[in-house]
Amino acid sequence: MSAVPEGPPGDPGPGLTGGVCPACGGPVDDVVARCPDCGCDLAGVPPRPPAFSRPAVVATVVAFLAVYAVIVAAVALVN
Ligand SMILES: [Zn+2]
């Protein structure tokens, strides 16, 4: 009666991300549920996309271009 439902060896559970810590980015083992570096609870934490994903970079560039266009337009109107 001590059987615990487990996946095949090497298959991380659904709550374990494995690989890198989502909080500090440090390497973590697949079998641990807590980051050894920062103590972040890895169970139940969904993997977040990297901060510099392509949509984020595109949105940032577009936002900077929009601000730049507004500044250029304001300078052009003043002069
Ligand atoms: Zn961590």
Task: Tell me the per-residue pLDDT of 39-57, one tens digit each, with 9 for 90 and over.
Answer: 888 776 566 666 678 888 8
- 39 Cα to the center of ligand 1, angstroms: 6
**List of residues 6+ apart from 79 with CB closer than 8 A:** none
- 41 Cα to the center of ligand 1, angstroms: 8
- 4 Cα to the center of ligand 1, angstroms: 27
Q: Is the pTM of this model over 0.75?
A: no
pLDDT band at 17 (very low <50, low <70, confident <90, very high): very low
- 15 Cα to the center of ligand 1, angstroms: 15
**Three-state DSSP class for residue 55:** helix
